[in-house]
Amino acid sequence: MSYTYQRLDKNNVAVLLVDHQSGLCNLVHDSTPDDFKNNVLALGATAKYFKLPTILTTSFENGPNGPLVPELKEMFTESPYIARPGNINAWDNEDFVKAVKATGKKQLIIAGVVTEVCVAFPALSAVQEGYEVFVVADASGTFNAMTREAAWLRMQGAGVQLMTWFGVACELHRDWRNDVEGLGRLFSNHLPSYRNLITSYNAKK
């Protein structure tokens, strides 16, 4: 099977944060609550660090799904925020698709709750429309490992690439020499072990 390594390009990528809502986050049991929240905020911080266009969306937030988690709303005060009235697949919402297309980017980084629905449905829809899609596995969550694996297999079969927020950050950055302090700060803010690494590095300077 031939394969061409298409790297994430910070000049051609947008981030879609789908349904990280207070109610839905209660359904995430394939990760600990603290780890999951940290990974979601780390992906958000990565998007901010690289100045990536970011779109927030929620589904039926006046119902049991609940509002967007406040940390994301505070982090992206200037970003498009699409409160879908009921569409389960975000790609079925005209305003959401318009916001995605308005970025002009052809690579999409997607994360959300729950993985097999809120992430998989728009990811598969975007692939069908010609986008290159990267799903951030550790910033997406669902009921258990079985449902997560089923979602991953379905998306991978359609050409979606699975990544972690750390991998996303490294692939976007390309070279430590671009900004040692900035990237180190991003990592140390969300990885305690990396904070130790950066502390040791700074002590030698």
Q: Helix or strand or coil: residue 82?
A: strand
Which residue of the set 99, 114, 118, 124 is catalytic?
118
What integer pLDDT is reported at residue 205 of this predicted model? 66
Q: How far is CA 41 from the centre of its chain?
A: 9
What integer pLDDT is reported at residue 4 of this predicted model? 87
Q: Is the peptide bond before 18 cis (omega within 30 degrees of 0)?
A: no
118 is catalytic: yes
Number of H helices, E strands in the chain: 8, 6
Structure tokens at 41: 């905020």
Backbone angles phi, psi at 123, to 5 degrees: -60, -45
Low-confidence ranges of the chain (pLDDT < 50): none
Q: State pTM to two decimals.
A: 0.96
Strand boundaries in the chain, DSSP class E: 13-18, 54-59, 81-84, 107-112, 132-136, 161-163
Q: What order of strands is seen across the sheet that includes strand 54-59?
A: 81-84, 54-59, 13-18, 107-112, 132-136, 161-163
Residue given tokens 């394939």 in the structure block? 30
H or E element: which one contains 198?
Answer: helix 192-203
Structure tokens at 15: 């981030």
Q: Which of 154, 150, 125, 165 is nearest to 36 (CA)?
A: 165
